[in-house]
């Protein structure tokens, strides 16, 4: 499947995935409620019987959701003018795992910028986001940047420099840009900014498919 709109990407599986005109509000709502549940779960200090009662409520919700399932989790829709998987684990608003990364902006030079707010559920070192999640945000951002530049590609190498701890609970800005192409290899850089300071930088090599 192809789409000629600038910044629109077509992952390999797109030809087999249903494309929704818009992400259903209830899909986003459910994911948002599950994110809140996870955040409450890592902060809670209630008594054991309350933990057990909460677990039973969650079991009931899971059983309800399992009543009808799709073979493949992938669903595509349009977000910020781009085609994305509703269940993408970084920016999919329908995936509770996704923080999500939102608000994609593209400046006149083609550089991209998005934001994300990661809660305590993403904590690695005390007060700081787990490094794997820092890398995930950057990996996704460079992938998005090269797609926006018209070169959709998969990451084959991602080098992350962790400059300082990336705080959780504060808005993060994730910047990325396409920097060049050599045959099938596409190059990009990215950075995460929190409270006006760069916390991590990445350089990536991606290969077009
Ligand atoms: C829009 C939404 C954004 C989403 C962004 C999400 C970003 C991601 O998470 S992508 C997922 C993670 N990445 C992957 O799963 C990719 C795994 N890798 C692969 O499947 C394969 O390496 C694949 C298909 C990309 C390329 O394989 P193949 O087609 O055989 O290419 P191959 O010949 O090995 O390499 C192509 C070129 O890249 C180079 N290359 C490959 N790997 C590397 C590497 N690690 N470092 C440097 N160069 C490399 C090769 O040397 C070659 O260079 P040249 O053309 O100059 O000879």
Q: Is the pLDDT of residue 64 over 70?
A: yes
Q: pLDDT averaged over the chain?
A: 90
b or e along 7-42 (b: 16 or more beta carbons within 10 Å of the residue's beta carbon)? Answer: bbbbbeebeebeeeeebeeebbeebeebbeebeeee
- Tell me if 147 CB under 6 Å of ligand 1: yes
Q: Is the pLDDT of residue 194 over 80?
A: yes
Mean predicted confidence (pLDDT) in 166-191: 98
Check residue 16 and give its pLDDT: 59
Mean predicted confidence (pLDDT) in 105-127: 95
pTM for the full predicted model: 0.91
Q: Return the ligand 1 atom nearest residue 154 CA.
A: 10
Q: Is the pLDDT of residue 43 over 80?
A: yes
Q: Whose CA is nearest to atom 28 of ligand 1?
A: 207
The ipTM estimated for the assembled molecules is: 0.96
- Tell me if 205 CB under 6 Å of ligand 1: yes
Check residue 73 and give its pLDDT: 66
Check residue 197 and give its pLDDT: 98
- In the reported structure, the alpha carbon of residue 188 is separated from the centroid of ligand 1 by a whole-number distance in angstroms of 13
Q: Return the ligand 1 atom nearest residue 207 CA.
A: 25
Superfamily of domain 98-208: Hotdog Thioesterase (3.10.129.10)
Percent of the chain with pLDDT over 70: 91
């Amino acid at each position: 499947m192809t789409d000629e709109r600038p910044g629109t990407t077509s992952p390999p599986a797109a030809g087999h995935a249903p494309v929704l005109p818009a992400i259903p509000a209830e899909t986003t709502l459910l994911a948002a409620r599950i994110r809140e549940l996870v955040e409450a779960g890592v902060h809670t200090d209630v008594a054991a019987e309350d933990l057990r009662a909460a677990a039973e409520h969650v079991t009931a919700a899971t059983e309800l959701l399992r009543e009808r399932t799709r073979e493949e989790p992938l669903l595509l829709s349009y977000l910020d003018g781009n085609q994305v998987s509703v269940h993408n684990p970084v920016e999919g608003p329908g995936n509770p795992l996704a923080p999500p990364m939102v608000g994609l902006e593209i400046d006149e030079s083609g550089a991209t910028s998005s934001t994300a707010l990661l809660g305590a559920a993403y904590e690695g070192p005390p007060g700081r986001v787990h490094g794997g999640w820092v890398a995930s945000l950057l990996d996704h951002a460079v992938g998005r940047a090269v797609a926006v530049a018209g070169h959709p590609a998969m990451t084959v190498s991602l080098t992350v420099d962790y400059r300082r701890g990336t705080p959780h609970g504060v808005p993060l800005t994730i910047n990325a840009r396409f920097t060049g192409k050599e045959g099938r290899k596409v190059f990009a850089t990215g950075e995460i900014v929190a409270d006006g300071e760069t916390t991590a930088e990445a350089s990536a090599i991606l290969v077009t498919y």
